[in-house]
Structure 1
Amino acid sequence: MPKMDRRITKSQIAIKKAVTELMTEKNFDDITIQDIADRADVNRGTIYLHYMDKYDLLDKMIDEHINKLWETTERVCEMEWVDATKTYFEYFESNYLFFSTMLASKAAPSFRRKFLEFLIEAFKDEVDKTKNHSLNADIIVKFAANAYVGILESWLKEGMPYPPYVMAKEMGILLERIV
């Protein structure tokens, strides 16, 4: 794969940061390409060079993070729940602005849906059939995924009051009990 020009990378990072910051200030529907360009300190044409419109930009940002979560899943699949969960919470912490904005935004319901789909798929093979033999695996997985999103959303909204390792320990224990 050819290496991307650093100027392109810098522009894309600035554009993504700009749209995320703007989403904390106003409704996504009210954000214009010009707003994004001004905040990112790039020309409108630079945005259109990489994205069809602001919706394409948002979709690509969401897909990028979901893909990174899948890459993380591949790396941590053999770890214990606590260690694996710590890796995720460190990722959420390092991408605080994105995740807190997406989970709080009513304009990005596709993020919540895609994030839940990711978690459901990731938890699907983790259900302990002997421990949960009388319960429906599909319901267990959906319960765990929705609980995970709720806890993450609360942690981010409260300004990450606990470090990732504390969240990982607590969530890891709870997930072991549930799944």
Structure 2
Amino acid sequence: MATVTGKRNTQTEAKIKAAFTTLVQDKGFDAITVSDLARTAGINRGTFYMHYLDKFDLRRQLIDDAIDDLTGLLLDNADEDGRVMSRAGKSVCDAFQTRAIAAALRYVKNDYAFFDAVSNSGNDMQMYDRFKEVLKKLIMTQAKRFGATPQSTYNGIPADYAMEILVSAVSSIIWLWIRRGCQESPDEICLIIEKNKVTAPIDILW
């Protein structure tokens, strides 16, 4: 499998991304200009505009690239026969497998400075929502591999709400991890996600 990192980035784009990350951390997204980005990247403004329309287009494309990479990692590392036993003793599809989630978490941790910059660039909720869509895609892909039949409700909960409950829990754990500086290892976060699968929210309160 080809590596996901660097498959699109030219050397110039990598320099611009590094400049974006540094400048957003130093002075905030609102304060940076294209001139700042070009100067920090060691290029001229014309070269910048050959790749991006403005700083907003740059941020959008960087987020798109990160989401594409995470999607690839999650789908490529998902076991095609990922099954677990439910509480009812039935064999069910486990969309959020440890191997796939761990691969995504390692990607985030290895590029933490960028994700930290994005989360502080005034666009953090877009990244959060995009990541939820990636997890939904993973669930649907795994369900199709497993041959699961779509239902209108799950344990009495309408399908749309059930999906939101499932992906929001995992997304929130990962997003909090990023906002806290990725202090824990990917394996520790995977363990939290695994425990979350079998822990009712009310149990956490007592």
Q: What is the TM-score normalised by the length of structure 1?
A: 0.80
Structure 1 spans left out of the alignment, 5+ residues: 1-7
- Aligned residue number for residue 82 of structure 1: 98
**178, 182, 187: which one aligns with 1:156:** 178
Q: What pairs with 1:11-30 in structure 2 (closer than 5 Å)?
A: 11-30=12-31
Q: Kindly tell me: are residues 15 and 156 of structure 1, through their superposed partners in 2, closer, same or farther at Cα, counting changes over 3 Å?
A: same
3-state SS of paired residue (2:174): helix
Query: Does the 8 A contact of 1:85 with 1:171 survive in 2?
Result: no
Q: 1:93 aligned to 2:109?
A: yes
CA distance in 2 between partners of 1:166 and 1:112 (Å) = 20
Q: In structure 1, what is the Cα distance between the partners aligned to 2:166 and 2:117?
A: 22
- Counterpart CA distance in 1 for 2:119 and 2:170 is 12
The aligned runs of 1:30-69 (5 Å cut-off) are: 30-69=31-70
| Higher RCO (Cα < 8 Å, 6 or more apart) | 1
Does structure 2 retain, via aligned residues, the 8 Å contact 1:82–1:168?
A: yes
Q: Any stretches of 5+ residues in structure 2 without a counterpart?
A: 1-8, 83-93, 201-206
Please say if residues 102 and 186 of structure 2, whose CA atoms lie closer than 8 Å, have aligned partners that are also in contact.
yes
Cα shift readout 1:69-126 (whole Å, capped 9, x = no counterpart): 1211221221562222111111111121122222333245433332222223323466
Q: Does residue 122 of the first structure (1) align with residue 144 of the second (2)?
A: no
The TM-score with structure 2 as length reference comes to: 0.71
